[in-house]
Chains A and B, each alone.
Chain A
Amino acid sequence: EDQVTQSPEALRLQEGESSSLNCSYTVSGLRGLFWYRQDPGKGPEFLFTLYSAGEEKEKERLKATLTKKESFLHITAPKPEDSATYLCAVQGWGGANSKLTFGKGITLSVRP
């Protein structure tokens, strides 16, 4: 069974204070690892797909990286508008092939 664990559960940063969010996973053959951003009361918004270890993707102040066991979402010089919950999900080759397994998310608060 695929599993995703995200840590920490919550993170408070000062504006400009860079940090990383962790996503640890176990999966029966990785098809893809996904990062989402979710604002309160809204649906998750897709950010990145990572396919294999060593891959990196960037979008504005966010950079996602992938190893064989973990993914990190690095936030460089965050701003208050980066405050949100960040979800990680994996899709493996076993089981129903379009299902994703989600972590519980990391709630990021960035203070001005």
Chain B
Amino acid sequence: DVKVTQSSRYLVKRTGEKVFLECVQDMDHENMFWYRQDPGLGLRLIYFSYDVKMKEKGDIPEGYSVSREKKERFSLILESASTNQTSMYLCAISRGLAGANEQFFGPGTRLTVL
């Protein structure tokens, strides 16, 4: 079974705090993704990574940064959390093959910024 774990299921932070969300996989998949999911807006891609130390901006990167120092870990960083970053954050992984690459998701982190 594919295993994607996220560091916290629920997190409460204050405005202006630096927030770290970590994602760990045990499948040796090349690609890792961070999404946020909000009611009525669906899944929106924040950042993704094809390889260690590689990162690409997704559709909504503003206010976020990422780090991938090891293949199995992909961290999402909120440099200065704001209330509009309250959301469900989902990590996903996929293989880097030539064909169709289904993504496998972690359980999600529900972040509340007060």
A-side residues, CB < 8 A to B, are 31-32, 34, 36, 41-46, 49, 51, 87, 89, 91, 96, 98-100, 102-105
Contacts and interface: CB of A to CB of B under 8 A. Distances in A.
Contacts of A42: 107-108
A96 B102 contact: no
Given A43-B90, A105-B42, A98 B105 contact: no
A105 B15 CA distance: 31
Contacts of B92: 43
A99 B31 CA distance: 10
B100 A91 contact: yes
A51 B42 contact: no
Contact of A32 (B45, B58, B100, B106): B100
A89 B100 CA distance: 11
Interface of B: 4, 31, 40-43, 45, 48, 50, 56, 58, 88, 90, 92, 94, 96, 99-108, 110
Given A41-B110, A43-B90, A96-B56, A91 B101 contact: yes
Given A46-B105, A103-B42, 19 more contacts: A31-B99, A32-B101, A34-B100, A36-B105, A41-B88, A41-B108, A42-B108, A43-B92, A44-B90, A44-B105, A45-B105, A46-B103, A46-B104, A51-B99, A87-B43, A89-B103, A98-B96, A99-B58, A105-B42
Given A87-B43, A105-B42, A100 B103 contact: yes
B105 A104 contact: no
A91 B41 CA distance: 19
Contacts of B88: 41
A98 B40 contact: no
Contacts of B106: 43
Contact of B94 (A36, A87, A98, A102): A98
